[in-house]
Amino acid sequence: MAPKLARVEPVAELEDSAPVDLASLAGIVGYPIRRAQMAVFEDFGRRFAPLDLTPAQYSTLVAIGDNPGRKQSDIGGALGIQRPNFVAMMDELERRGLAERTRSGADRRAYALALTLAGEALLLRARAAQAEQEAAIDRALGSNERRVLIGMLNRLAKLT
């Protein structure tokens, strides 16, 4: 026989204008980090929409541009992108004519990555958009606090 559940009295509905109490979440490190990430990504989306780039695609183009000839597995691993997801992303970047894979001379099973001329041109525009976003963050936080925040976030990233 199933236990009887206690009847819960209905809670009085609050007015829509009453603020939602999030005080219990305010002191949890992950909550403001996630909210900040959402705000930064939303801003990124607005700035990068004309370039048709996601944050992961932008990071990949930067990593390839800064490390031409590196193996696909090296770039994907350094960015923390799972192999199947990285392969699919590279397929898309190749389809768009932004990057290319060539067989590695050292390991014929591996692919070396490089940007195409179109990829280099798009990355130049994307870096300018990123610089604008970083300047906006600088204005919001101040240069010193921005550097401190990046340092703290990098330390937190080592928790795993």
> Against a cut of 0.95, is the pTM above it?
no
pLDDT at 46 over 70: yes
pLDDT at position 7: 77
Phi–psi pair at 63, nearest 5 degrees: -65, -40
The CATH number that domain 35-159 falls under is 1.10.10.10
Distance between first and last Cα of the chain: 45
Neighbours of 126 (CB within 10 A): 20
Which pLDDT does position 9 carry in this prediction? 77
Average pLDDT over residues 67-93: 95
The pLDDT tens digits for 105-125 are 777 778 899 999 999 999 999
- Asked if 70 contacts 112 with a C-beta cutoff of 8 angstroms, the reply is yes
Mean pLDDT (the chain, rounded) = 92
